[in-house]
Chain A
Amino acid sequence: MNEMTTVPIAVTINQTRYDVEVKAHHTLLEVLREQLHLTGTKRSCGEGECGACTVLVNGEAVNSCLVLAAEMDGAEILTIEGLERNGELSPLQQAFLDRGAVQCGFCTPGMVMAAEYLLRTTPHPTEAEIREGLSGNLCRCTGYEGIVEAVKHAGRETDS
């Protein structure tokens, strides 16, 4: 493959396949938001410090602002838009809503995705594991109390 300014990629996002041409210098975040209009993923710091743009790529949580869309050829991506099932909130989303984990909501999509990854890799996390797992996601509203509670609760839910 030669060097290209525009790169054709085939990606699966939330179980839907997309064949798109992306600019070589565009990030996954830019393509999700501007090209595919999946605006649930948020842009804040743009330098991998805040976690607002967290998505799952091949099952791994990543900052989509620090990934080139061109790198995503063949990848399977899960964004916040892909968590609901038949219009029902996922248990984690429901826990965020019930436990007071959401205020302005701007960090919420990234926070939920980071928590989703945590629960996939550590189904019953301790409070310390939750705090470590979410330490790359900044929130300025909640003080994190409700968020940690929500993840704890969602972790317990998967027990039953």
Chain B
Amino acid sequence: MKIDFSHKQAAHCENGVVSNLMRHNGFDVSEPMVFGIGSGLLFSYLPFIKVNYAPVFTYRVLPGLVFNRFAKRVGVKVKREKFRNPKNAKARLDENLKNNNPVGLQVGVYNLIYFPDEYRFHFNAHNMVVYGKKEDRYLISDPVMERVTSLTEKQLEKVRFAKGAFAPKGHMYYPTAFPEKLELESAIVKGIRQTCRDMTAPVPIVGVKAMRWVAKNIRKWPKKIGQKKTNHYLGQIVRMQEEIGTGGGGFRYIYAAFLQEAAVVINNEKLKEFSKEMTEIGDLWRDFALDASRIYKNRSGESDGYNKIADQLVIIANREENFFKRLKKVV
């Protein structure tokens, strides 16, 4: 069985799955729109959780949150199911496919055979759509891939029941009820407000405060943990910024694209200016990554560039703080 499903590549997996599932159900919502309404943008630093022997840095909200917030704000109902037993998980999936219902799945990347080996880490918050089954192969629309692909029953079971942090436990989700017309206007305003609130929150681990904390640590790390480890951490910061399989995806640019699109939908010219500004901030993040990479290119260390990139990060934090404080006032 094969459901007539149109695959569209996305910059980020969760946005892509939501956008593709919405389009399948007759609602054309772009990836940036999903990301903006779902308040996907964030910065967070979790020094007490280690992944690949480095602390967690993230530029986006927790997996699953984008779809939940988006759905709530536009009036779509989402059903989510998790399973203990792989057999039940497979049966429920097959049932949905039989009913012509493509579903989103949360999966682990480590056993995803169509990714290059180098990209296969134990990262468990990847998302894909299953839209059919041919003999014993499931038809897969993975939003980070240009084209659709497929996995055997065994291969799919393995990625659905990957273990470790954020284990997917067969997690399957799909929209079940839609409004007649999507309430985009109010949803956009709600989405923007929440992002402004999160980014300027008075907590050290999220938003601009977390960026400043990282900057402070970058200055300390070379002495405290040595240059080799510091460089490893810097590499992790850059890889989380945008990389397949880590949940990254150049989020500042996606957000700028959202603001540009939102300006037209809610008829607010000011958002276009904000979009331009967010693009500039995205460029600053890329400069930061480039300068950080110049340091860790030489793995042994011997660089005095740490203070310089910490300064850059502080500048970005100041720009973003100023940006979100003003953005809050125009919506």
Genuine A/B complex: no
Q: Please give the residue numbers on chain A whose beta carbons come within 8 Å of chain B beta carbons, in ascending order.
A: none
